[in-house]
Amino acid sequence: MAEQAAEPLSFQGLILTLHDYWSRQGCVILQPYDMRVGAGTFHPATTLRSLGPDPWNCAYVQPSRRPTDGRYGENPNRLQHYYQYQVIMKPSPPDLQALYLGSLAAIGIDPLLHDIRFVEDDWESPTLGAWGLGWEVWCDGMEVTQFTYFQQMGGFDCKPVAGELTYGLERLAMYIQGVDSVYDLRFNNAVGDRPAVSYGDVFLANEQQMSKWNFEVADTDSLLRGFEAAEAECQRSIAAGVPLAAYDQAIEASHLFNLLQARGVISVQERANYIGRVRDLAKGSCAAWMQVNGWAE
Amino acid sequence: MSADFLLELRCEEIPARMQAKASDDLARLFTEQLAQAGLKAERITSYVTPRRLALIAHGLPLQTQAVSEEFKGPRTSAPEQALEGFLRKTGLTKDQLEDRDGVWFAVVEKPGRATTDVLAQAIPAIIRAFPWPKSMRWGAASETTESLRWVRPLQGIVALLGEELVGIEVEGVTSGYATVGHRFHHPGIITIGSAADYVEKLRAAHVIVDQEERKAIIESRAKALAADAGYELIEDAGLVAENAGLTEWPVPLLGHFDPAFLEVPPEVIQLTLRINQKYFVLRSTDGKLAPAFICTANIEAKDGGAAIVAGNGKVLAARLSDARFFWEQDKKTKLADHAKKLSRITFHEKLGTVADKVERVAKLARWLVEGGVIEWQNITEAEKAGRLVKADLVTEMVGEFPELQGLMGGYYARAEGLPDAVADAIRDHYKPVGQGDDVPTAPVTVAVSLADKLDTLLEFFSIDEIPTGSKDPFALRRAAIGVLSLLIKNNIRLPLLKIFDPAYVIRVSAQSKNFSNDDFKPLEIYDGDEVVFDDDASHYNVYKNGKLIARLAVEKTNAVRRAEEILRGRNHKPYKLLDFFADRLKVQQKEAGVRHDLIDAVFALGGEDDLVRLLARVRALQAFVETPDGANLLAGYKRAANILKKEGYDAPTSRHPGLEPGSRSFTDEGSGMPDQVRHDGAEAAYLSEPAESTLSVALDAAEPRAAAAIEAEDFEGAMSALATLRVPIDSFFESVIVNDPDPAKRAARLALLQRVRVAVHKVADFSRIGG
């Protein structure tokens, strides 16, 4: 263990603890996917690997970008860039709830001191053509994790079903450390004369500048061209039988669409149309992935 | 011999909203399955918690009844093949049959079955067929889509008849004596002996299986906590049930929030607490909201709940500061400026934006006041309110809490100093939402509410989005009921066809800035009229049957083009819409005890599009047909109508003859009758009998009286005019034979009956009246 559980974990301590915990449950610990995505679910280790019959257990941190959530670093709870901790287990093990609760214990949450609850929350991603049933997990009234049994991905039935856990790391860390602003989070602990660094030290400037870029600066024409280009490249790659490459372009198109929305250039009517286009790319990539693996029916 | 049967189906957390129905479904399916085997329990108790569905069937017989069934076979003299077939069917041999008077009989004894066997078959069937609103697959078994579906993964089954285990296996889940207690207080396995110790063993393991007991604990504890803090609990049965569905061991806890948040409208705070956090809301002694909340934990916390209250308080503070931010942010922009953003919201794919709708609503609301339909001294207020009613849809607060639409608009309107009449209209214009909701009476509110609903109905009917069966995605039935309630409650005289006239759609759709009351004059275009449109540089022209009937200074926008389509459409939609209202009216009035056949009887006359007048007429009619005069007149009418029908006289045709009720309704009726036998010409041809003359005289007197009374909307008067016909009609039928061999007499008598029918139809189409 990297740190003592007696004092609240630092932000990186939280990640290290979860890595350690899920590693011990037999998960492959992956590194973040190197593309801009809106959520950990977009990582091909979740989207594509949740398809098909092969067992797959993994965990990773995924930096996630939601341009419209940017608040120029002025809101203590909202960020356009944040971290999700993602666990995917296929087939879903019979004791997945118990494993999850074990992870909460590992990061120092005592379920006889704090009120842990599984509250109905079904998940649906229109852009991924995916849905599942599950809960949001509450800790003292705060949602700390999304817990989902995937039923479909890319329009295909999940056979078998994968269990997905998505922890909101900043929120969980704020809770554990008892701070009111995300920027006050202790990122690490001081060691000797090397000082502790706060989340604000690391990310405040990023939030300020990226919010400005997302909302004001980003060139919409080149974003639009980028969207078209990614769409075309995705379709070409599907045709060429390289679904992993195609899926990268689907992710790219999805993020560019999010940026276009943040720039306010997509009308309500167009929005549904764009979502449909991204979904076609994601579904097409998934279909091609099923095809090359010989899982298509 | 009987025993109690315990069934527990344990799974991961069942959504709170599904638990009550699931519990009922389990009891129902169980009862049905057992009934099929001829078994019945003395009574069934069912329990549900987030993690288990349970049922105890008390006094279940251990065996089903043995039955002896007797089958009649072929005659003993019948061919061998017939006997063989019978033996195959019954599974017996020839020496087991009985010969009764030359006919083979088979007696098959079916022994009673052990109830455990019945249960072992029934329970898996119940599980497989369970009607969850949403269900899922899970785990290794889900490699096929045929695997078991349950609301969340099914984890265990306890099935005990008396103390005996009923062996059940469903997709790898096998029954046993073991279950689990509270997830955190009692993590281990507990063993159940029988139905008798189930509830108490679980209670010892921190699980209260009875949902009613959990509800009672939450309610009484929350009340006590509130009282201890000097507040009063705002009762909320739905929230009690929801919290009971989220806990196995409910522990209500009271916390506080910063009173500064109370500057936000109370509805916002209540929603934040209730919907987002499932907290109870409290009231101070002054009746206002208290700066406190009650959450319901699922544990007896080690520290007495201090950490839980602190954590929940923090989450709530973050949510309330979001709400306060929205409130302050929204107030910085005037509603009129918010409203501009409505052009970005699609109302319906084919019907333009919400801004387009708002424009129409504003104009129609203004016209309702200006045209005197609704009395209010300030003509512009309705229009102004109309333009602002939907503005709150683009505010941050309504984005967060859609259920606050209207209400927030009212708050923002008041905050920017708009007149109370306007603010109230914005706040209440969605009302009434369904039957039983408050019906607005403030004139500006009524104008805007009516305009909004009428516009919705007109627009969706114009694109043929008409509710069918259970499909009513745009809640048009509710809108129509809302219109009816507003008209009736406020006694508003609104000829609906005038509003439904397509010309109205054209003019309002045209978005012309300057419009006048004349813009709403109907064009009176009906089925069969040939309509031509053209537009020159400055005007839009409408020709009916080759004649220019309107020259409008409007541009030919898309909306106008759509209105053209409506006019060109083969089905004349205003009438469809009027029929739709008639149906809604019948439903709505049913509760008030108004007979739907009488509504039909008045609607069938056509021309009546003023629902207040229509209802007055229906009420008078209902009072009349319930008197002896009315009942006898109805009988006489029916007799006359039957004779006429037999003789090939068509019933008066009366189908939406025009916009002006009364003007065209009666003059042409009876057109099915040959001209030469109309009453004036025919009477002289022979000497009529006294009863004929009496009836004729009575008709001469009653017809104008009824017509005048209807004109004056004195429907009781019209009914009493009809009542004078009762005695003459009765005596006519007593003393006169219609089917006389003399063709002239016959024709004259038929003509007289036709006059009776026409006279009665001036008041209502009696052929539609039942009984």
What secondary structure, in 3-state letters, does A148-210 show? EEEEEECCEECCCCCEEEEEEHHHHHHHHHCCCCHHHCECCCCECCECCCEHHHHHHHHHHHH
Interchain CB contact of B571 with A (< 8 Å): no
Compare all CA atoms of chain B with the CA of A149 and give the residue at the minimum distance. B138
- C-alpha distances in angstroms, B367 versus B354, B370, B453, B500, B563? 20, 5, 15, 14, 19
pLDDT at B526 over 60: no
Residue B482 CB coordination number (10 Å): 28
How do residues B445-499 score in pLDDT, each as one tens digit?
A: 999 999 999 888 888 887 778 888 888 888 899 999 999 999 989 999 887 776 6
**What gap in Å lies between CA B667 and CA B652, rounded to an integer?**
11
Residue B394 amino acid letter: V
- Taking a C-beta distance cutoff of 8 angstroms, is the pair B282, B270 a contact? no
Which residues does chain B have within 8 Å of residue A97's beta carbon, measured at their own beta carbons?
Answer: 12
Give the mean model confidence (pLDDT) for residues B438-443.
94
B134/A122 touch (CB, cutoff 8 Å), yes or no: yes
CA angle A42, A105, A64 (to 5 degrees): 20
**Residues belonging to chain A with any Cβ–Cβ distance to chain B shorter than 8 Å:** 53, 77, 91-94, 97, 101, 110-120, 122, 132-135, 139-142, 149, 151, 157-161, 163, 175, 180, 267-269
**What gap in Å lies between CA B408 and CA B429, rounded to an integer?**
12
B139/A91 touch (CB, cutoff 8 Å), yes or no: yes
- C-alpha distances in angstroms, B115 versus B33, B34, B41, B535? 12, 9, 11, 83
Compare all CA atoms of chain B with the CA of A105 and give the residue at the minimum distance. B184
Per the model's pLDDT, the better-predicted residue between B362 and B658 turns out to be B362
Give phi and psi for B100, each to the nearest 5.
Answer: -115, 110
Q: Which residues contact B456 (CB under 8 A, 6 or more apart)?
A: B357, B474, B476, B479
Domains and CATH numbers, chain A: 11-213 (3.30.930.10), 219-293 (1.20.58.180)
Compare all CA atoms of chain A with the CA of B172 and give the residue at the minimum distance. A94
SS3 of B575-588: HHHHHHHHHHHHHH
Which residues does chain A have within 8 Å of residue B272's beta carbon, measured at their own beta carbons?
Answer: none
Per-residue burial over B352-361, b if 16 or more Cβ lie within 10 Å, else e, is: bbbbbbbbbb
Interchain CB contact of B303 with A (< 8 Å): yes
B136/A160 touch (CB, cutoff 8 Å), yes or no: no
Compare all CA atoms of chain B with the CA of A76 and give the residue at the minimum distance. B318
Q: Find residues 549-568 of chain B whose CB sits inside 8 Å of chain A.
A: none
**What gap in Å lies between CA B75 and CA B83, rounded to an integer?**
8
Which residues does chain A have within 8 Å of residue B153's beta carbon, measured at their own beta carbons?
Answer: 92, 94, 149
- Taking a C-beta distance cutoff of 8 angstroms, is the pair A95, A102 a contact? no
Interchain CB contact of B314 with A (< 8 Å): yes
Query: What is the per-residue DSSP string for B289-333?
Result: EEEEEEEEESS--TTTTHHHHHHHHHHHHHHHHHHHHHHHHHHTS
Which residues does chain B have within 8 Å of residue A77's beta carbon, measured at their own beta carbons?
Answer: 318
Which residues does chain B have within 8 Å of residue A94's beta carbon, measured at their own beta carbons?
Answer: 139, 153, 155
CATH topology of domain B336-514: Hypothetical protein af1432 (1.10.3210)
B344/A133 touch (CB, cutoff 8 Å), yes or no: no
- For residue B67, the distance in angstroms to the closest alpha carbon of chain A comes to 45
**What gap in Å lies between CA B554 and CA B508, rounded to an integer?**
10
DSSP B5: E
How do residues B704-724 score in pLDDT, each as one tens digit?
A: 998 899 888 888 888 888 888
**What gap in Å lies between CA B408 and CA B516, rounded to an integer?**
32
- For residue B423, the distance in angstroms to the closest alpha carbon of chain A comes to 28
Res. B686 pLDDT band, cuts 50 70 90: low
Nearest to B56 by CA among B154, B147, B184, B159: B159
**What gap in Å lies between CA B106 and CA B90, rounded to an integer?**
7
**What gap in Å lies between CA B603 and CA B278, rounded to an integer?**
49
How do residues B14-38 score in pLDDT, each as one tens digit?
A: 999 999 999 999 999 999 999 988 8
- CATH code that applies to domain B594-651+687-768: 1.10.730
How do residues B37-79 score in pLDDT, each as one tens digit?
A: 889 999 999 999 999 999 999 999 999 888 888 888 899 888 8
At residue A184, the pLDDT reads 97
- For residue A173, the distance in angstroms to the closest alpha carbon of chain B comes to 13
Across the interface, which of B144, B297, B318 has its CB nearest the CB of A159?
A: B144
Q: Which residues contact B94 (CB under 8 A, 6 or more apart)?
A: B83, B87
Interchain CB contact of B742 with A (< 8 Å): no
- Taking a C-beta distance cutoff of 8 angstroms, is the pair A64, A83 a contact? yes
**What gap in Å lies between CA B295 and CA A247, rounded to an integer?**
44
ipTM over the 0.90 cut-off:
yes
Compare all CA atoms of chain B with the CA of A139 and give the residue at the minimum distance. B311
How do residues B664-683 score in pLDDT, each as one tens digit?
A: 233 333 333 333 334 444 44
What angle, 0 to 180 degrees and rounded to 10, lies between the N-to-C axes of helices B502-509 and B558-568? 170
- Taking a C-beta distance cutoff of 8 angstroms, is the pair A156, A286 a contact? yes
